[in-house]
Structure 1
Amino acid sequence: MTWTSTMSSGYSSLEEDSEEFFFTARTSFFKKPQARSKPERDAGKEREPPKVFTQEELRQKIKAYNSSVTDRLKMSLNLNEVYTGFIKVQMDLQRPITIRARSAQGSQVYNNSNETAFYLPKNTSNTLHISSSNTVKDVIEALLKKFTVIDNPAKFALFKQFLVGDQVYSSKLSDGEHPLYLRLLAGPSMDALSFVLREYETGEVLWEAFSLPELQNFLRILDKEEEEQFKLLRRCYVTYKAKLEAALKATGKPD
């Protein structure tokens, strides 16, 4: 089964190998947090224990789910009462990720040996084919593998989001929860439930959690940005100086 990728979406399976692919990303190390179209609220930590369905109940629920699907990404029930289906995960990462470097013509990357640190583009998402037995931890590890990310999976967390009116509610999922079960209960609507991969902590950066190669990559990015900012400031200064001198000459005043 293949995995197709664009700047906004992709497809992969936890059960089958696929071609690895990564994106060339923006190089701003001091990236501003992405603006969210609607405010988010924490949905709270209360979680109902998963309900155990009989095979007939599962069959009926999956049938009802498939009848509402509009993108052909339906669920299937196996004889052992394990069902398979699809979830879409948005990659909402605010910090650089580290991948095993591959040659990419026209891309601007910062290498340390065979590793590359860069930002994942906005609106990057991936559609995973998973089973009801796959956990949140499995999904995180699969996403990192498909993007050839070598960062520690413990740095990331999977969040669930749902929309109530104009308010977006968000809650971090525990590693042992089953995303496909949540998808089945919520139905195929992305307003009712969506999944987002984020850093485990979005506040202050814990630099001690990064490896030495990662930190060296960050320093290279900072050096490059410092050089680019200096060039930009110098160009602005030269342009302003030329305009000021021209204005002084036009008024007949001495320099």
Structure 2
Amino acid sequence: MTGSNSTSSGYGSLDEENDDFTFFTAKSNFFPQTQAKQVPKSVTREEDKEEEKPTSLTKEDIKAKIDDYNSKVTENGMKLSSDGTYTGFIKVHLKLRRPVTVDSGDGKSPGPGSSSDSSDNRTSFYLPRDAVKQLHISSTTTVGEVIQGLLKKFMVQDNPRKFALYRLTRRDSQDLFQKLPLSECPLCLRLLAGPDLESLSFVLKENETGEVEWHAFSVPELQNFLIILEKEEKERMRQVELRYAAYREKLLLALGQVESKPG
């Protein structure tokens, strides 16, 4: 598996602000909640549906689909082998909200926002937001192998079970995410959907199982999480206080205008 990558500049642990402000705490963001989760307006889960698989097609059908795919791209097309398998490229967007752990045996920190663990020469830090990794894979490469390959490219030491690969499609201006099973073959999905990223994109996210798998974390990782989440909670509290002060000022101004009017 080979690859090249491009990443956005800067590191960040907090989501970008929007009009629908939600107060953040470490407990509500990191630990499982017993109450029903509220689905964001822009994200829904795509219903499971049966889909034609290239593996069930004849070699001639696959060749026709590859020819059609290649006619729509100017580079990084797919190549069919004599045994009926094929190779090509996929792009994976990394949307990780939690820090990852990398080997820092040289003693250097990988970037801002890191929290060093000197006990085992590992460092926990946030990957750049919306980093994109391009991978060259085959039609037999599974989701599990893609996840392991991504972690290897970024030298991430975390357990692969902490992560999951999602398919992202857009429908009626909404982002639809569907978690892919480890046995799924991403390049097959890419061939069926065509090269249009609006029709299909791949996203690496945390494996949201509904429960925290404590055995998958080391003690230094958990300690780093607590430090980072405490900083995030304080920042969110500061944002809430600033917004409260701004709303209070507007309210007092509006009350003053009403009281100054005669009658």
Same fold (TM over 0.5): yes
Structure 1: give runs of 5+ residues left out of the alignment.
Answer: 9-22, 233-255
| Aligned-partner residue type, residue 168 of structure 1 | D
- Which residue does the alignment assign to 1:185? 192
CA contact (8 A) 2:113 2:125 kept: no
What corresponds to 1:6 in structure 2? 6
- Aligned position for 2:97: 94
**In structure 2, what is the Cα distance between the partners aligned to 1:180 and 1:194?**
11
TM-score where L is the length of structure 1: 0.71
Query: Counterpart of 1:164?
Result: 171
CA contact (8 A) 1:24 1:108 kept: no
**Conserved in 1, the CA contact under 8 Å of 2:3 and 2:135?**
no
Which of 25, 39, 55 lines up with 2:59 in the alignment? 55
CA distance in 2, matches of 1:24, 1:109: 12
- The answer for unaligned runs of 5 or more in structure 2 is 19-39, 239-263
Partner amino acid, structure 2, of 1:135: T
* Deviation, structure 1 residue 176: 0.4
Identity %: 46
Q: With the length of structure 2 as denominator, give the TM-score of the two structures.
A: 0.69
Give the Cα separation in 1 of the matches to 2:91 and 2:189: 12
Distance in 1 separating the partners of 2:17 and 2:191: 29
The Cα RMSD (Å) is: 3.2
Change (3 A) 1:192 1:77: same
Do the aligned residues in 1 keep the contact of 2:161 with 2:207 (CA within 8 Å)? yes
Aligned residues: 211
Structure 1 equivalent of residue 222 of structure 2: 215
* Aligned equivalents of 2:100, 2:202: Cα separation in 1: 19
Conserved 8 A contact 1:112-1:216: no
Greater shift in the superposed pair: 194-203 or 169-178? 194-203
Match of 2:157 in 1: 150
Q: Compared with structure 1, are the counterparts of its residues 133 and 105 closer, same or farther at alpha carbon in structure 2 (3 Å cutoff)?
A: closer
Q: 1:146–1:132: structure 2 CA closer, same or farther, 3 Å change rule?
A: same
Report what 1:236 is aligned to.
none
Q: Which residue of 2 aligns with 1:82?
A: 85
